[in-house]
């Protein structure tokens, strides 16, 4: 499979977990190991748990680290339906995630090119490879549907 097709397969999986909690903003995240095997998946659980940090990416990173038994996620890929915020972009840098794949752009809070570019800041000691706009239309439609 070529890279773009692989990213789309993973994004469809992220889309499928995005609506797991009906009251939460539908964002889905998946973490893949270096061989492309799924380590974890999560939706946004901020409303469900009352935890301001329970964004899909944070939960997926925590679960992936638990599966691997270590905090370093070198060579792993984080796939998420929406451009990460500053918290999540910071967390994926701290986890040493190798590749970030995201769907829709988030001009109001995005920290991977929209407002900031945390994951590719040359001042940090780790930078992720980034692929944005994967299945962008479907990811954006999901968000629009929720806020309508």
Q: Distance between CA 99 and CA 35 in Å, rounded?
A: 13
Of the candidate spans 29-37, 48-56, 60-68, 130-138, the one that interacts with Zn ion by CB under 5 A turns out to be 48-56
Phi, psi of 50 (to 5 degrees): 70, 25
Nearest residue to 56 via CA among 3, 11, 120: 11
Of the candidate spans 60-68, 78-86, 112-120, 139-147, the one that interacts with Zn ion by CB under 5 A turns out to be 78-86
Of 6 and 48, nearer to Zn ion (C-beta) is 48
How far is residue 47 from each of residues 19, 51, 83, measured CA to CA in Å? 13, 7, 20
92, with CB counted inside 10 A (0-12, 13-18, 19+), is: buried
Assess 55 for contact with Zn ion (CB under 5 A). yes
Task: Enumerate the active-site residues.
Answer: 57
Of 6 and 87, nearer to Zn ion (C-beta) is 87
Number of residues engaging Zn ion in binding (CB under 5 A): 4
Pick one of 29, 42, 59, 88: the residue that binds Zn ion (CB under 5 A): 88
Binding residues: 55, 85, 88
Assess 85 for contact with Zn ion (CB under 5 A). yes
Of 25 and 32, nearer to Zn ion (C-beta) is 25
Contact pattern for Zn ion over residues 89 through 128, marking x by CB under 5 A: ----------------------------------------
Nearest residue to 43 via CA among 58, 54, 30, 28: 28
Q: Distance between CA 135 and CA 61 in Å, rounded?
A: 22
Residues at the site binding Zn ion, with contacts judged by CB under 5 A: 55, 85, 87-88
């Amino acid at each position: 499979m070529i890279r773009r097709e692989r990213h789309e397969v993973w994004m469809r999986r992220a889309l499928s977990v995005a609506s797991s909690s009906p009251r939460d903003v539908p964002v889905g995240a998946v973490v893949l190991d270096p061989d492309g095997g799924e380590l974890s998946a999560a939706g946004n659980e901020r409303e469900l748990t009352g935890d301001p940090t329970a964004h899909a990416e944070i939960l997926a990173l925590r679960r992936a680290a638990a599966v691997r038994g270590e905090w370093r996620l070198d060579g792993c890929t984080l796939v998420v339906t929406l451009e990460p915020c500053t918290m999540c972009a910071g967390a994926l840098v701290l986890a040493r995630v190798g590749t970030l794949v995201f769907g829709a752009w988030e001009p109001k809070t995005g920290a991977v090119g929209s407002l900031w570019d945390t994951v590719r800041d040359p001042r940090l000691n780790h930078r992720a490879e980034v692929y944005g706009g994967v299945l962008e239309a479907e990811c954006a439609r999901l968000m629009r549907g929720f806020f309508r």
